[in-house]
Chain A
Amino acid sequence: DAGVIQSPRHEVTEMGQEVTLRCKPISGHNSLFWYRQTMMRGLELLIYFNNNVPIDDSGMPEDRFSAKMPNASFSTLKIQPSEPRDSAVYFCASSLGGELREQYFGPGTRLTVT
């Protein structure tokens, strides 16, 4: 079975540009999570969806970040405008939903903003 799919795997962009990261969760999973990982702050939850509805976006750093989940098999995380401090690895994870459910991670997108 295919795991969580993310694209692109690497993104290099200039400050001020718009960046869109994409995620396809595991088929049948009802919850989707966006994380950011940096050396300084570790792995942080940005936002998560359940049944395509955003449940908690308290980890979204600022208004430059937005996320959507138009259907059960696709989600985007957008940064506009991007800044050098947004450079990080962004992971998408999915789970069957509900508490006591394991999350499975995608391969991540390494974002570099110059």
Chain B
Amino acid sequence: QKEVEQNSGPLSVPEGAIASLNCTYSDRGSQSFFWYRQYSGKSPELIMFIYSNGDKEDGRFTAQLNKASQYVSLLIRDSQPSDSATYLCAVAQGGSEKLVFGKGTKLTVNP
């Protein structure tokens, strides 16, 4: 059974701090990795995707991938109260469109 694990949190950070969200996956054949943000009562919203080892930056968000360690993370710099949400990590095996989601980490940014 392919698994994606996330710390359920809640993770609480002060406004302006860096929030670090982590995800591990079991399938070594995984090739694509996604971070979704989900506000309470809303649908998942894609915020980052990464396919290669290393870092990928988009505004205040940085995704980091280490395939050898089967680890992917999301850093949110200068965290804002509007970043308070549940962050879902999703992983697809190579050659497949199927995404396996973690159960998410709830982030709270305190003003």
Interface residues of A (CB under 8 A from B): 31, 33, 42-45, 48, 50, 55-56, 91, 95, 97-108
Contacts and interface: CB of A to CB of B under 8 A. Distances in A.
A107 B41 CA distance: 9
Contacts of B44: 43, 91, 105
B77 interface: no
Contacts of B60: none
B98 A45 contact: yes
B8 to A, nearest CB: 10
Contacts of A104: 46
Contact of B32 (A55, A91, A100): A100
Contacts of A97: 97
B49 interface: yes
Contacts of B42: 107
Contacts of B36: 105
23 contacts: A31-B97, A42-B101, A42-B104, A45-B98, A48-B98, A55-B97, A56-B98, A91-B43, A91-B44, A95-B97, A97-B97, A98-B97, A99-B32, A99-B96, A99-B97, A102-B46, A102-B49, A103-B99, A104-B46, A105-B44, A105-B45, A106-B43, A108-B43
Contacts of B45: 105
Interface of B: 31-32, 34, 36, 42-46, 49, 51, 88, 92, 94-104
Contacts of A31: 97
Nearest to B42: A107
Contacts of A91: 43-44
A99 B99 contact: no
A85 B77 CA distance: 40
A107 B95 CA distance: 27
A50 B95 CA distance: 14
B88 A43 contact: yes
Contacts of A106: 43
Given A91-B43, A99-B31, 19 more contacts: A42-B103, A42-B104, A45-B100, A50-B97, A55-B97, A95-B97, A98-B97, A99-B32, A99-B92, A99-B94, A99-B97, A100-B31, A100-B32, A100-B51, A101-B97, A103-B46, A104-B46, A107-B43, A108-B43
